Amino acid sequence: MGRLAGRVAVVTGASRGIGKGIALALAAEGATVYVTGRTTEPGASPLPGTIGETAAQCDERGGRGIAVAVDHGDDRQVAALFARVREEAGGLDILVNNAFALPDDLVEPRPFWEKPLSNLQMFRVGVRSNYVAAWHAAQLMVPRGSGLIVAISGYAGVSYTYGVIFGTAKTAVDRMAHDLAVELAPHGVASLSLWQGLTLTELALRNLASIPGLEGQPATRREDACSPEFPGRVIAALACDPELMHLSGGTYITAELAARYGIRDLDGRQIPSLRERRGSPLWGPVMEEAKGAEP
């Protein structure tokens, strides 16, 4: 029986990519995972993967996958998701805010004024959607006095990556995770942000193969990359850490937490931290801040 047997998780944006990898890693530890996303039919997206396929693979990993079609830009659909979790599962242990509206031109090397204003969708699904999901999740977690909310972010929070909106959105995600932790601390619910480097998702692999000059840049070195399941392994360890509340509020480099918990990637590699090359997180645990404020 896995470490997360009996635990319930919601992973947003899990048709494919990092969300799918996290869902599978949590299921491998026995969790029931609500897999959300917009892709329900094969071929509906240029990239492979559906929420149903992810849910089925969660079952194969030893947990339970429940596919729920959700557009995280639609508050009514998000509310219905969490109402279903409440009705079916009776509570929630883990929320992973991974959904992010990546525009097709994200990695194109054009300045912001030459890209469409529609790229502001990254604020709608990527920042606002995180808040809405956390708002609902807190109402399930606070009465129980426990829970973990994780935001998937990256070095873009402090290091220019792919453009103005992307970096601004990731910075906002980190700050939001910190301030959620401030208000959740009295209730035993943790909130934190994880920094991913290059993750070899379906989209990343397609872009590396098709866009000349993309590979080998500071954010796209294959030797630094991890699998989509790597952050899920770290989240599983966080959820089982009896000292979790001491980490709440912080922004953490996934690779550094992995080293702390003795976690390696699927191929046995220890994923490197890029702190020295790409920057350090801005936000630390709220407990440390509280100590520093004491007279």
pLDDT in the model for residue 46: 87
**What's at 218, amino acid-wise?**
P
Tell me: pLDDT of 167 over 90: yes
Residue 291 pLDDT level (bands cut at 50, 70, 90): low
pLDDT digits (tens, 9 = 90+) for 16-74: 999 999 999 999 999 999 999 999 998 888 888 999 999 999 999 999 999 999 999 99
Mean per-residue pLDDT, 3-12: 97
Is pTM beyond 0.85? Reply is yes
Residue 222 pLDDT level (bands cut at 50, 70, 90): confident
DSSP tag of 199: B
Mean per-residue pLDDT, 197-224: 84
Mean per-residue pLDDT, 236-250: 98
Which helix (H) or strand (E) segment holds residue 236: the answer is: helix 230-239
Residue extents of the structural domains in the chain: 8-293
Q: What are the residue ranges of helices labelled H in 29-157?
A: 51-60, 75-89, 121-123, 129-141
Contact 14, 39 (CB under 8 A): no
Indicate the fold that domain 8-293 takes in CATH. Rossmann fold (3.40.50)
pLDDT in the model for residue 253: 98
**CA torsion angle 144 247 239 178 (round to 10):** 70
Tokens for 119? 């790229």
What residues are paired with 33 via a beta bridge?
A: 9, 65
Phi, psi of 252 (to 5 degrees): -125, 140
Contact 98, 13 (CB under 8 A): yes
Helix, strand, or coil (residue 49): coil
pLDDT in the model for residue 278: 94
Contact 228, 17 (CB under 8 A): yes
